[in-house]
C-alpha cells in the first residue's frame, strides 16, 4: 500500500477534528433557563442602536419609526462553561404563544383585543426581521437573548394612543404579562407620494 504522507496527514487530522467536534457535541450539557418576566419599552427605530432613542408621543412620528423593546428576564438554572462546546440553550417551560393586545383597533382585520403580533416583525438589529413563530422558537425557547424588538408591518387606519400589553402563554397553561405601555401610533401619510 502506497500512502502519500501529506495527503494521509491531512485526512487524518481532518478526521480527528471531526471526531473531536462530534464527540464534544454529544457530551455537551444544555444550559437550562426559565422565562420569569417580560417588559415593553417603546423606542424610536434607529439602525445604529435600537435602544438609543426613547419614543416621544409629542413628536407624532409615524408607525414606521416605532420599535418596541421586549425585555426578557431569563433565570439560568445551570450554565455550561465548557469552552470546547458550542453553547445550547433550552427553556424548561416552553412558550407556546405570545400575544400583543391593544385597547384600540389597529386595522379593520385587527380590532381592539386582537393579537397584533400577527402584523409585526421581530428584530435585534433593525436589519434582519423574522416572524412571530420563528421568534418564539429560536429566541424565546432556545437562546440566551434577553432583549429583542418588534415593529409593526402594517399602517394603522387612524391615529390613536394604544395601551399595549404582551402576554406569554406557556405549555403548562400559565401566562405572564408585561407592563402596559401607552404609545401614540400615527399612520404613515400616503396621500402625497414622494417621487423616486
pTM score of the predicted model: 0.80
DSSP-assigned beta bridge partners for residue 165: 101
User: For 140-157, what is each residue's pLDDT tens digit?
Assistant: 998 888 899 999 999 999
Q: Which residue has the cell 458550542?
A: 86
Residue 166 DSSP SS3? strand
Q: Classify each residue of 15-27 as buried b or exposed e, where b means 16 or more C-beta atoms within 10 Å of its C-beta.
A: eeeeeeeeeeeee
User: For 42-99, what is each residue's pLDDT tens digit?
Assistant: 999 988 888 889 999 999 999 999 999 999 998 988 766 666 777 788 888 999 999 9
CA atoms of 43 and 55, how far apart (whole Å): 5
CA atoms of 15 and 11, how far apart (whole Å): 6
Whether the CB-CB separation of 100 and 113 falls below 8 Å is answered with: no
Amino acid at each position: 500500500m502506497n500512502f502519500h504522507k501529506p495527503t494521509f496527514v491531512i485526512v487524518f487530522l481532518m478526521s480527528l477534528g471531526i471526531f473531536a467536534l462530534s464527540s464534544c457535541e454529544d457530551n455537551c450539557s444544555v444550559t437550562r433557563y426559565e422565562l420569569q418576566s417580560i417588559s415593553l419599552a417603546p423606542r424610536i427605530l434607529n439602525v445604529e442602536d435600537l435602544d438609543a432613542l426613547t419614543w416621544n408621543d409629542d413628536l407624532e412620528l409615524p408607525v414606521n419609526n416605532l420599535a418596541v423593546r421586549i425585555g426578557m428576564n431569563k433565570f439560568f438554572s445551570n450554565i455550561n462553561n465548557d469552552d470546547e462546546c458550542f453553547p445550547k440553550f433550552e427553556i424548561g417551560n416552553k412558550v407556546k404563544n405570545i400575544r400583543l393586545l391593544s385597547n384600540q383597533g389597529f386595522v379593520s382585520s385587527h380590532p381592539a383585543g386582537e393579537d397584533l403580533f400577527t402584523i409585526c416583525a421581530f428584530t435585534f438589529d433593525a436589519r434582519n426581521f423574522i416572524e412571530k413563530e420563528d421568534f418564539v422558537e429560536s429566541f424565546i425557547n432556545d437562546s440566551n437573548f434577553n432583549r429583542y424588538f418588534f415593529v409593526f408591518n402594517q399602517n394603522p387606519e387612524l391615529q390613536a394612543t394604544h395601551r399595549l400589553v404582551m402576554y406569554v402563554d406557556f405549555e403548562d397553561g400559565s401566562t405572564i404579562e408585561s407592563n402596559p405601555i401607552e404609545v401614540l401610533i400615527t399612520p404613515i401619510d400616503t396621500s402625497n407620494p414622494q417621487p423616486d
